[in-house]
Amino acid sequence: MDLESELRKAMAEQVAGATASQSLVADVKRRHRRRKARVHAAAGVAAASVAALALVPTYQSFRATPAGDSETTRPSNTVSALQLPERPPASGVPGSPSPKGTSEAGASQKPQEHGSSGGGHAPSKPGVPGAVGKLPQWITYLPAGLASTGPCDVARSAGRETTTCTWRGSGGWVEIALVKGDGLTGPQDLMRAPGVPGHTSVHGMPALTGDRPDSARQISWVARSGVGVTVTAAGTAKDRLMRIAEGVRP
């Protein structure tokens, strides 16, 4: 017989006379219930602790302000909604500046700015920079960058009166001639450009256009009986020739 069999036989002989207690099962169940109750109690305590920690910030935000505080509890980065009334400064101590920006007695005040009353200069016309007080009422448009070269020139000859106005600047130059007199039969009486003219219209009236030898371009038309207009432009202003002509309303 081997050693293992001997050990089994010895163990069996040792416990052969032992018997289980009748309350063994009840004791096991009772101990299990006690252990289960301890586990539940520990879990409840842990849950209550977590809930208490979560309620601390809420309690801090809603707790009453102690007596004597001038402001309610607020986060540090917000402005308090409650402010104590300012106390008057003590005698001999200068007061703080008014919160509304009003000046104190004796302080100098900034004079109010008023719109210019003209300063002796005539107002400029819209769309006509640099021609202050020098534009006839019958001219309503000139390209930017042009300035009058002086008063309009008036000449009379052969029963006609010709008013010529000139502007010069970075955009070239513009000359507008207003002719009044009898005997104007059409724009051909006003044209000074050589070559075959082109045909167009200004304000519904027939007009003639032509290029001059000095690289300028002109347009002429009879605005009404006895009144004719010739507009001449050079440089970049030549690209606005029709717009300038439409702005002439004699």
Query: For 189-212, how does the pLDDT look when each residue is reduced to its tens digit (9 = 90+)?
Result: 998 888 889 999 999 999 999 999
Instruction: Examine residue 14 and state whether it is found in any structural domain, yes or no.
Output: no
Strand 217-224 to 205-211 pairing: antiparallel
Is 237 inside any structural domain? yes
User: Global pTM?
Assistant: 0.48
In-domain check, residue 65: no
Residue 124 lies in a domain: no
**Residue 210 belongs to a domain:** yes
Residue 23 lies in a domain: no
Range of the domain at 227: 146-246
pLDDT tens digits in sequence order for the chain, 250 residues long? 578 888 888 888 877 766 666 677 788 788 888 888 888 888 888 888 777 776 655 555 555 455 445 444 444 444 444 454 555 555 544 444 444 444 444 444 444 444 333 333 333 443 344 443 457 899 999 999 999 999 999 999 888 999 999 999 998 999 999 999 988 899 999 988 888 899 999 999 999 999 999 999 999 999 999 999 999 999 999 999 999 999 999 9
Give me the residues paired with residue 169 across strands: 146, 172
What type of residue sits at position 180? K
Count how many domains the chain has.
1
Contacts of 250 (CB under 8 A, 6+ apart): 138, 178, 223, 224, 227, 229
In a domain, 203, yes or no: yes
